[in-house]
Amino acid sequence: MWSNELKINRQVAENLSKKDMIGIPNTVVHYFCEKAGNIYRDIDANSVCLIDGVKTKVIIRPVDRHDILIPESDTDYEQWVFGFFEGSFIKIIGWADKETVLNVPLRVFGYWKEGEEKDDDRVRILERGTFREISDLIKIEKEEKEELQIVKQRYVPLHCHNQYSIGDAYGKPEHIAKRLYEKGFGAYAITDHGTLAGNYQMQMALLAEGVKPIHGIEAYIVETDKRYSHMTILVKDKKGWENLLKLNTLAVRENFYYKPRMKIEEIFDHKEGLILLSGCRGGVVASRYFAGEEDRAEQRVVMLKKYMGDDFYLELMPHAVREQVEYNEFIYGLSKKYDIKCVLTPDAHYCDKEEKKYHDAITAINWRKKFQEGGYDTDTYYLLTDNEVLDLIKEHHPAIDNAGEMLANTMEISDKCNFEIHPPEEDDTLPKYKIPEFEEILHKSDNLQDNYLWHLIVSSDRYKPEHKEQIELEYQRITDKKYTNYFLIVWDYVKWCKENGILVGPGRGSVGGSLLAYVIGISNVDPTEYGLIFDRFISEVRKDMPDIDLDFEDDRRKEVLGYIKEKYGDEHSAKVITFSHWHAKGALRDAGRIFDIPKSRINKMCSLVVTRSGGDARSDYCLFDTFNEFEQGKEFYKDYPEASEIAMGLESHIRHVGVHAAALCSTEKPIGEVVPVSKIKGEIVTSWDKKDTEDMKIIKFDILGLKTLSVINSTLAQVDGLSLPTQFDDSKVYDNVFKKGKCLGVFQFETSGLSKLCRQLKADNFKQLYDITTLYRPGPLHSGETADYIQRKNGEKEWSFDHELLEPITKDTLGLVLYQEQVMRVMHDIGGFTWATSESTRKVITKSQGKKVFEKLRKEFVYNAVHENGLGEKEAEHIFNVVSMFGSYGFNLSHAVEYTTISYWCAWLKTYHPKEFFASLMSKENDSYQLSNYIKEAEKAGIDVLLPDINESKVGFIATDIGIRVGFASISSIGKKTAEKLERHQPYAGLRDFIKRAKPSITIIKALACCGALDGFKLPRKYAYENPKSVIDGQMPIDIDEWGVMKRQEMVNQYVTLPQEKGLIEKYKDPFEGLADYEPIGKLRFTDYVSERWIKGVVTFINFKQEGLEGDWTMFDNVLERRYAHLNIDDGTGQVLVHLAPEQYTFYKHILERVKGIPVAIKGHSIPNFQKIYCDAMLVLDDIDMTNPILKYFDDRSEDIKQLRALNKFADIGVVSQVNYKVSKNRNPYAKIRTKEDDFMLVFKLDGDVFVAGELLLYTKSDNFGKVLARVK
């Protein structure tokens, strides 16, 4: 049975409208077409679309009338769909074809559309009887729903919390709204602790379930400088919301002390449209009462009544707590004395009694306590029904004799409160860019901003006559959509950056598709050169807001943010909040902590957790699936059922808040008057996340920091008159960098994978470069598209275009679909879709479940390709299949071009100004391993890296005539401020002058002396290191006693990361000389498994790490939980990371504290494609530990073997060569050991000391398992 009346909740329709970025009429039809399987496509952003290829006008009237009015001039459609708003729903009731409409006679009708001025234009009036049934057009089966028996509640919950009362409430908006509906509540007050963060999300969820939202807050009220109480504030109308926003802003900006606090007198100043309730046991009245100040409590009641009149109510809570019973009696007495109405307000922190455990867990986590210590004193802090409230009052609060009336008073408050949050009426809320005086070249508009934008275009050096048509199109769309002001604001801060020497990136994301943005200087990519599409940036149809993302130098990003705030006002600007939700592993870890579950069990479960992306329908149920799909998951659930249930309940719930890394919002009004604001770690932020702020027409500016831009600008600053290239065709750059894969330091390309891909493809042009960045992503790599591209490029595979119509679209990518813009071109040029629909298609196919949705477009694509391009049906199907197969991996071509521009700049600087480029790279690098790589690369290029010098060094590395000088900030023990001070006072005439003006500490003297920075003062390093106080006091040595070469180098290594001299390392005594087959580190390869590798070099740095949670650890508890270390070893030919597993860390930790700068010998092994050595044994060469078992690795052990053989003549004997440590599924530690005598590994139980290469084992073996009988170290 088909449904003749299609109905959708109005709030649901609004939510879908925001998601699809089209108007409500098109959204509603789209929703029903999708359910029915009709092919839908929008033509405009509001009410014109195609249904199964037929042009359709959708008319949804604000009220149900028996007729539909169609203007005489409005008949350019093949059919009409009709509907109306009915309460909280939208109904589609019928449709009519063109013949039916044109057969209706025209008549004069003065008011043919509500809200318009009188118009004598003629209209056609379609009576309801002329409509055809909607089921003839959109066929949806009637749903037979089982009616839910709902008992209507006699009160409204007025004191309620949800997940936005972070750390003190449980329940997401959708869940709460659903339970409210099922319990029979008609309204609900949103009163979170000191925040309005959840009001908008709660409103949408409530309206979607037909529950009335009452906006409010449980405010923190200033009591003293540091103390606060609570008060419940509710909003009656729009004026009340405006006043609450102002009060919230004052609380955040003026009265913040750990919490945003309101002053009661400021509430009275902004009382219009507000209702005040006296609050809970921590409320403004109760706080005085429980402090023993009953008189002051009474005075407060009198004052609140005086100022608020009938909009002040006394709150009584029904909870069975002794203090609450006492307080209720007190407050009830005052209500009778002063004739003040009371309301019963259960303090709801979760929905149902059964959810108390989740609330207990959340509070325990927030308070850093155990589970049993969390939660409140009774189990009644949930959405009590009216009967439950009355029962509690009757049982525990016998003094209250009119509870029914108090419940009725909540309904009275609900009737007073009639406000919903809606976006502002303005097109946007941006501050208005003030137009300077300018000479109009051509008057384009009556709008001054539009004219100024045109002035910027035609006066630009980048504007060319051949651009006119495209520029006109973009200009018209931008001005029609009223985006001009936004573009001018962005243009202004980009211009300010350029004027102040801040390097701005060439663009980021789809802005590269805008020729207008390029011409006026916002972006630095000409889209006409690369076939970039403007509709990828701003769609003709969609109601999307403009989004220009740009990169700035990371160390000057704050200056850009400061400029915007200063220009438009600090009170008009705020950053954007982010809400961090419990992911599956985080919920498990928190549950484990509050239940004291062993970390080993938790870590094991975390390793099993099913992970899904945010777009997956089951992304919030990872733990549920883990506990049900894995045997170990089932076992864990059986052992810890309550903890498991709680972890599942917490998953996807808000855990804490943060600040968006890049987003800044600015508004014409103070921003706190548009959306609520909060304060996080001293920063003012919007209380709503970026999506909800965008719903309020607030456009964010993404000011992103990129370190590479700082590197580039620092390089430019070191060479007079140097500017970046605008053409990307220098053969020397390709020959020296990309073709050879020498991409270290080159943005995006310095990974080994991309460098290898450059070598394979012999990259020799810019288009190939951005193809390479696109090909080196998981989609193309795993699908085989990357390998296909390589074979085609290198002539290893014959290929042809899948169809001649694909040739102009895919010729630059060797017949492959690599980019989203190519998908759009196929849909537009071959499939006959509009650019707007092609853009929608691009969005669909790149989503996680997009391929399935994309299939729905097949029918229309094939139809258009056949009828408009003359293709055969099979040909059209084939092209659609090609796009469907590879299009889902498509990357944003605009972004690829923009970021590859930065890559080319790096390669160009590396080619022509390597000294300055490497100096900048080193200055901006914080990772010691990568810094060592840059230094080594510079030396390969013939650039000497010089020790610091007190008069020549700067804060960072600096290029000099003879090389690169190490900066002060790179010296261990010298921070940035000290480095800046040392540079500021340069030059120093001598040691005395240095001591007098720089005022160095003992630590600074020792650091500078050891690395040679004070050599210019003829100050012996050894003396300065051992007598820093004497140096500061001006005492010089009588006899010069200096360290030897080896000791000097060791001391330098302690303070500065520099490559080591091969000859110096060889001077250390090595017990393995002539025995071990040492490999030069620079020649190490990791393509195959190698069971025994020997290297020797200096430890230039150590990274101590601990996987899993921080805290106490047990040696054999769990691999994921123990500490390990990474050592960087440099032998003068290269460097490599050496991995010390937790067992090696335990064995060697006594020497790890001093080993930096010291030469070591390493025996280890390696596995394919992992660029590191796994340590089996380590020996420090400056002070050899004679007890280290590795010393006996090459010895004749016949005497030891003889002793062991006497213990068991049938057992095996072997010298440990390789050890891998593991933990079994049953959480038992074990070692996999290879001996010198065997070519296979045996598993040994680990129940004592760790195994070390070089020790002798007596053992038995069975299959792959061994049992140790005796050990000799």
Tokens of 366: 């927030």
Q: Which CATH architecture has domain 1198-1272?
A: Beta Barrel (2.40)
Distance CA 963, CA 986 (A): 20
Beta bridge pairs of residue 1173: 1138
CA 1160, chain centre distance (Å) = 41
- Measured in degrees and rounded to the nearest 5, phi and psi for residue 50 equal -110, 130
Distance CA 1020, CA 774 (A): 55
Specify the pLDDT at position 611: 67
Strand order of the sheet with strand 677-680? 549-553, 700-706, 654-666, 573-581, 683-686, 677-680
Q: Answer yes or no: are the C-beta atoms of 404 and 392 closer than 8 Å.
A: no
Q: Answer yes or no: are the C-beta atoms of 448 and 265 closer than 8 Å.
A: no
Tokens of 410: 């909540």
Task: Map residue 767 onto helix, strand or coil.
Answer: helix
| pLDDT band (50, 70, 90) for residue 117 | very low
| pLDDT band (50, 70, 90) for residue 513 | very high
Residue 64 scores a pLDDT above 80: no
Residue 177 scores a pLDDT above 60: yes
Among 24-33, 81-90, 312-321, 661-670, where is mean pLDDT lowest? 81-90
Closest CA to 1271 of 1191, 1193, 1194, 1213: 1213
Tokens of 742: 């020498």
Closest CA to 762 of 773, 753, 772, 776: 772
Report helix angle 10-20 to 199-208, nearest 10.
120
E-state strands within 424-520: none
Specify the pLDDT at position 1105: 66
| pLDDT band (50, 70, 90) for residue 251 | very high
Beta bridge pairs of residue 315: 343
Cα atoms in the 13 Å half-sphere on the side-chain side of 435:
18
For residue range 1195-1232, what is the model confidence (pLDDT) as tens digits? 988 888 888 888 888 899 999 999 888 777 666 778 89
Closest CA to 525 of 36, 1065, 900, 779: 900
What DSSP element (H or E) covers 887?
helix 873-887
Residue 114 scores a pLDDT above 70: no
Average pLDDT, stretch 479-507?
A: 96
Tokens of 1264: 């792959």
For residue range 603-658, what is the model confidence (pLDDT) as tens digits? 888 888 876 544 444 555 688 888 888 888 899 999 999 999 999 999 999 999 99
Q: Beta strand 89-97 with 79-86: parallel, antiparallel or unpaired?
A: antiparallel
Report helix angle 641-650 to 631-639, nearest 10.
110
Among 369-378, 699-708, 1118-1127, where is mean pLDDT lowest? 1118-1127
Percent of the chain with pLDDT over 90: 62
Tokens of 1115: 């040696």
Residue 1113 scores a pLDDT above 60: no
The answer to whether 914-1051 and 1198-1272 have equal CATH topology is: no
Q: Answer yes or no: are the C-beta atoms of 241 and 281 closer than 8 Å.
A: no
For residue range 981-1027, what is the model confidence (pLDDT) as tens digits? 999 999 999 999 999 999 999 999 999 999 999 999 999 999 999 99
| Long-range CB contact pairs, 75-80, < 8 A, 24+ | 75/101, 75/102, 77/48, 78/54, 79/51, 79/54, 79/55, 79/137, 80/56
Specify the pLDDT at position 65: 62
Specify the pLDDT at position 1121: 43
For residue range 93-103, what is the model confidence (pLDDT) as tens digits? 899 999 999 99
Residue 147 scores a pLDDT above 70: no
Specify the pLDDT at position 1118: 36
Average pLDDT, stretch 678-685?
A: 96
E-state strands within 1204-1262: 1212-1223, 1229-1235, 1241-1245, 1256-1262
Task: Map residue 836 onto helix, strand or coil.
Answer: helix
Q: Which CATH architecture has domain 577-697?
A: Orthogonal Bundle (1.10)
Specify the pLDDT at position 115: 45
Residue 1062 scores a pLDDT above 60: no
For residue range 753-792, what is the model confidence (pLDDT) as tens digits? 899 999 999 999 999 999 999 999 888 888 888 999 999 9
What DSSP element (H or E) covers 605?
helix 599-608
Residue 122 scores a pLDDT above 50: yes
Q: Answer yes or no: are the C-beta atoms of 917 and 715 closer than 8 Å.
A: yes
Residue 145 scores a pLDDT above 80: no
Residue 41 scores a pLDDT above 90: no
DSSP states of 778-809: HHHHHHTHHHHHHHHHTT-S----SSGGGHHH
Specify the pLDDT at position 1114: 35
Q: Answer yes or no: are the C-beta atoms of 758 and 749 closer than 8 Å.
A: yes
Specify the pLDDT at position 341: 97
* 68 vs 346 pLDDT, higher one: 346
Q: Which CATH architecture has domain 1062-1185?
A: Beta Barrel (2.40)
Tokens of 960: 């000099």
Q: Answer yes or no: are the C-beta atoms of 551 and 494 closer than 8 Å.
A: no
For residue range 794-825, what is the model confidence (pLDDT) as tens digits? 999 999 988 888 899 999 899 988 888 888 88
Task: Map residue 40 onto helix, strand or coil.
Answer: strand
Domain 173-416: assigned CATH number = 3.20.20.140
Region of 1103 (left: φ > 0; alpha: ψ -120 to 50; beta: rest) is: beta
* 1094 vs 426 pLDDT, higher one: 1094
Distance CA 1107, CA 603 (A): 10
* 131 vs 147 pLDDT, higher one: 131
Specify the pLDDT at position 957: 95
Residue 1151 scores a pLDDT above 90: no
Runs of H (alpha helix) within 3-105: 10-20, 24-36, 98-102
Alpha-carbon Rg of the chain, whole angstroms? Answer: 37
Residue 1111 scores a pLDDT above 50: no
Specify the pLDDT at position 121: 66
Among 119-133, 162-176, 348-362, 476-490, where is mean pLDDT lowest? 119-133
Among 47-56, 587-596, 1045-1054, 1251-1260, where is mean pLDDT lowest? 1045-1054
Handedness of CA 1148, 1151, 1156, 1160 (dihedral sign): negative
Specify the pLDDT at position 58: 95
Kindly give, in sequence order, each residue whose CB lies less than 8 Å from that of residue 1094, ignoring residues fewer than 6 positions away. Answer: 1072, 1076, 1077, 1078, 1079, 1161, 1162, 1163
Count the neighbouring beta carbons within 10 Å of the beta carbon of residue 151: 11
Peptide bond connecting 987 to the previous residue in cis, omega within 30 degrees of 0: yes
Percent of the chain with pLDDT over 70: 93
Tokens of 1197: 């052990």
Distance CA 342, CA 314 (A): 5
Q: How deeply is 1240 buried, as exposed, middle or buried, from its count of CB atoms within 10 A (0-12, 13-18, 19+)? A: exposed
Closest CA to 918 of 967, 951, 871, 848: 967
User: Does the domain at residues 6-136 carry the CATH identifier 3.40.210?
Assistant: yes
User: Does the domain at residues 914-1051 carry the CATH identifier 1.10.150?
Assistant: yes
Average pLDDT, stretch 333-350?
A: 96
| pLDDT band (50, 70, 90) for residue 679 | very high
Average pLDDT, stretch 137-155?
A: 83
Domain range annotation of the chain: 6-136, 173-416, 448-569, 577-697, 709-905, 914-1051, 1062-1185, 1198-1272
Specify the pLDDT at position 35: 87
